[in-house]
Structure 1
Amino acid sequence: MKKYRKGFYGILLLTLTMLFGMTAQAKTDDTIKTGIYAGDVELSGMTAQEATAVIEEHIESLKDVEITLLAANDHDVTTTAGDLGVTWKNPELVQEALELGTHGNVIERYKTLMDLQHENYVYPIELDFDLQAINDLLTRCTKYDQEAINVSLKRDGGKFTVVEGQTGYVLDVEKSIDAVYDYLTEEWNHEACSIPLEIVVDEPKGSAEELAQVTDVLGSFTTSYKTSGSSRSANVANGCSLINGTTLYPGEEFSTYKTVSPFSVANGYYMAGSYVSGKVVDSLGGGICQVSTTLYNAVLRAELEVTERYNHSMIVGYVDPSADAAIAESSGKDFKFVNNTDAPIYIEGYTHDKQITFNIYGKESRAAGHSVRYESEVLETITPPADQIYADAGQPIGYIVTESAHIGYKARLWKITMENGVEVSREQVNSSTYKMVPRSATVGTATSDPQAYEEIMAAISTANIDHVKNVAAALNARAAAAAGQTEIVDD
């Protein structure tokens, strides 16, 4: 019995000696115990500084790992983890690894140290990525978006043919950011990988059966531009061609500005006169408002729903007051309407012999005796005052640039509905106000002759442009005679 107690106490003493030895070692050792890893990186025997350096080196090596983002239509994008801003998110694991086996009571610390001799302890390396970098990359990927192209109509030789549509693919940037970030921070094995992006599939609208309903002319209108020069005529024809062939499904809205812009040489436009701040100035696309106005009147006769319309700043000559529809990039003016019928509509536009015509085709659902007409009512006419003349000392006498006068108007447009030849309703469609602009001229006054200067200034003070022109012509003739430059006429 004594021998047994002696042996038991001996083993206990040996065990306690080992435990206290391990404890003492754990308290004084400044290196990481054997069998401890950070991910695939072994940290055994390293100081905290050494472990940090080796993990950072591992993170640095990940920056060159290729990551492919899978988009639609084979427009995949290959980048790297470095480009996506990979960083080490949990550097505190080094201190935790260093302290493993040094906490708890003697038995707990002993158990931890014994466990490490049989099985490695692995701390996960947590990664983070730059959400802005992911967003920027995915935003650039949207250039590969392909909008759905609806099944549409084409009219040629007086007959309609169906043009097949095309499925659209659009990148959902917000959902794709989450998909990329979640995969890289939760599932990535630090090797080259591919990540599917969130793609929205947009099926085209329409079918041949639906488009077969388009057989009737719902509304038509024509205006003339016979007095227009070549540049303005070209702009009218170009804008008309950009609208021609439009198929609009029930409930869809049409924007004239969106369809005919941008106003650039590349888009087929020339410099021509247009209204800007009460003056006629040359601008790219001058004359395009005659296109929107002609379309507006065809839409009114088709009785489609007009959702946005503006009158011109000054009166136009190709339609009655209040029957115009202006578009302007600088002031945000647009002409918009909605297909409020139960069938598709087709817009046909063409020019011929300096006339522009729009026909709107669809399915006629109005009664046989139904018709509409439109009347313009002028509420007020504002006559321009006397001429306005501006002296320009930088130009010589004889230099005169005039701006035509514009009568001001207040007007409104009425829709008169007829059923079997009898008027059943009269509805105001819109009201319009057009600026009054007096005739004006800029007159040169530069001369070395004091008397001529006094005479031209006296003429300007009369506020009569025609008188100023006569005086300027006489002064120039006198100056030419004085210089011996009068014309000699043989008998």
Structure 2
Amino acid sequence: MIENENNKEKTIKKPKIKVNRKKMTRSLCILVVLFYIMRISWIHFWVNKYDKLIYPGVKVEGIKLNGKTKEEAVNTLKRNYVNEIFKKNIVIKVQDKSYTINYSKLNINYNIEDTVKDAFKYGKDKSTHDKYKAIRSSEEKNFSLKYKYDKKEIEETISKIQQQFDKKPVDAKITKNKDDDFKITSEKYGQEVDKDKLIKDIDEGISNKAIKDIVVNASLKKVQPSTKKSDLEKIDTKISSFTTNFSSSSDSRINNINISAKALDGTTIMPKGKFSFNNIVGERTEKKGYKAATIIVGDKLESGLGGGVCQVSSTLHNAVVRAGITPTERDHHNMPVSYVGLGMDATVDYGNIDYKFKNTLDYPIYIECVVKDKDITFNIFSNSKLTKKTYDLVNNVKTVSKAGKTICTVKAYKVTYVDGKEVSRQEINSDDYAK
């Protein structure tokens, strides 16, 4: 009996649970849609929130501007950057001295508004989804301010530094005493502020827009003299000479010859150096002692201040050519002169006509001018190696009649000799004179 009851219990089956798959699918779909709607709403919430705000991670000069409006960002930069930067100094150190320039004196102007506009636009040209990613990622983006500033204060400070530290070099000098011996004084080196490097270093310091002061060390560079003792020691002999006479001159003309001759005496010109008669002699004025004397104006004789100076320039011209140097600028009188041959004169008129040449020799030249016994003599000294060649100035004159006037057409030549034999003949000028 008991056994049968147990068997009966064993044969009882559990009821089956039926699952409504359609309902589950529908519920799942509803959940997905709800999640999607929530996510879209969430994305739009953040995107809309930052529609008028600067995105997270955006900085200008390292200052965080995330979540700020354009106006707030501008005010933040002015307060936390510009106002602080104006407390900054540029400190220029030169040896043991310092020179300070406050930023307020630079009139520096930063493009804050334009930079904030760029910072505000950052990320806003993307799709909604990418905007959201940019907002949530807070990826850093740093903008730099552009600036302009007035260099006047910097240039004035550098000018003060130059006045205190710049020293001009002193050239070696050569003089000739009464015993015809040369005496040479040594050169002295100068120094100057390396202005270009200093300005570059200051600009680089300003471009580093950190708040701390800019400290710049100015460099002093050595300035070599243009003439050194070792160069002048190469002058050891006379290489040319030329003399003209002014015995028929008036006292005023003699006076003018003496003044201009004294100005030229002792002139030294280095190789490739340039000579200008007017630059050395200067303007012929009463203040300098010049007097009125006969001068040639066109084809007439007139009285003018500094008459006689042209004899000095003409005498020098003849000595220079006989030293082997061809002038780079030389003009002639319209009428013949008595002290040199036709085509061999060199007229000068301050501000209008000059006599110039370039030292084309390999050695420096020393110009000596001696006025004695109504003679003026120019001696050109240089190196003895140059005496292997000698030079002369000769002319070729042709006379013709034009419009009832006698005209002399003249060609002048620099003739080169080696061991007394002519080796070349170079035409250096062609002139017309009215007799």
Judge same fold: TM > 0.5, yes or no.
Answer: yes
Map residues 7-46 of structure 1 onto 2, 5 A cutoff. 19-27=43-51, 30-32=52-54, 37-39=59-61, 43=65
Q: Aligned match of 1:379 in 398, 407, 421?
A: 398
TM-score for both structures, normalised by structure 1: 0.61
Amino acid at match of 2:292: A
Where 2:241 maps in the other structure, the secondary structure is strand
Q: CA deviation at 1:254?
A: 2.7
Q: CA deviation at 1:221?
A: 2.0
In structure 2, distance between residues paired with 1:106 and 1:139: 55
Q: CA deviation at 1:230?
A: 5.8
- CA 1:254–1:191: 2 relative to 1, 3 Å: farther
Consecutive unaligned residues in structure 2, runs of 5 or more? 1-23
Q: CA deviation at 1:218?
A: 0.7
Indicate the percent of aligned positions where both proteins have the same amino acid: 23
Map residues 69-218 of structure 1 onto 2, 5 A cutoff. 86-89=108-111, 91-100=113-122, 104=126, 108-110=130-132, 112-114=134-136, 122-129=142-149, 150-157=171-178, 158-167=180-189, 179=200, 183=204, 186-187=207-208, 189=210, 193=214, 203-205=224-226, 207-218=228-239
Q: Is the 8 A contact 1:249 1:343 kept in 2?
A: yes
Residue deviations 1:56-92, cap 9 Å, x none?
Answer: 6865886796657889x99999877677674335743
Q: Is the 8 A contact 2:236 2:383 kept in 1?
A: yes
Q: Is the 8 A contact 2:61 2:209 kept in 1?
A: no
- CA 1:212–1:93: 2 relative to 1, 3 Å: closer
Q: Is the 8 A contact 1:135 1:177 kept in 2?
A: no
- CA 1:36–1:375: 2 relative to 1, 3 Å: closer
Consecutive unaligned residues in structure 1, runs of 5 or more? 387-406, 437-491
Q: Is the 8 A contact 1:219 1:302 kept in 2?
A: yes
Where 1:94 maps in the other structure, the secondary structure is helix
In structure 2, distance between residues paired with 1:284 and 1:139: 45
Q: Is the 8 A contact 2:190 2:224 kept in 1?
A: yes
- CA 1:245–1:42: 2 relative to 1, 3 Å: farther
Q: CA deviation at 1:216?
A: 1.0
Map residues 345-384 of structure 1 onto 2, 5 A cutoff. 345-352=365-372, 354-365=374-385, 372-380=391-399
Q: Is the 8 A contact 2:347 2:353 kept in 1?
A: no
TM-score for both structures, normalised by structure 2: 0.67
Partner of 1:301: 322
Q: For structure 1, which segment, 163-172 or 308-317, has the greater mean C-alpha deviation from structure 2 after superposition? A: 163-172
Q: Is 1:315–2:315 an aligned residue pair?
A: no
- CA 1:176–1:261: 2 relative to 1, 3 Å: farther
In structure 2, distance between residues paired with 1:75 and 1:281: 62
Q: Is the 8 A contact 1:23 1:102 kept in 2?
A: no
In structure 2, distance between residues paired with 1:24 and 1:221: 98
Where 1:250 maps in the other structure, the secondary structure is coil
Where 2:200 maps in the other structure, the secondary structure is helix
Q: Is the 8 A contact 2:343 2:429 kept in 1?
A: yes
Q: Is the 8 A contact 1:296 1:325 kept in 2?
A: yes
Q: CA deviation at 1:361?
A: 0.9
Cα RMSD (Å) of the superposition? Answer: 5.3
Residue deviations 1:443-482, cap 9 Å, x none?
Answer: xxxxxxxxxxxxxxxxxxxxxxxxxxxxxxxxxxxxxxxx
Residue deviations 1:199-242, cap 9 Å, x none?
Answer: 98653356544433322111112334455556654543343333
Q: Which has the larger radius of gyration?
A: 2
Where 1:92 maps in the other structure, the secondary structure is helix
Q: CA deviation at 1:294?
A: 1.7
Q: Is 1:433–2:432 an aligned residue pair?
A: yes
Residue deviations 1:316-372, cap 9 Å, x none?
Answer: 3332222211233444543314242x333222224345543221111223667x755
Where 2:344 maps in the other structure, the secondary structure is coil
Partner of 2:346: 325
In structure 1, distance between residues paired with 2:291 and 2:89: 51
- CA 1:289–1:335: 2 relative to 1, 3 Å: farther
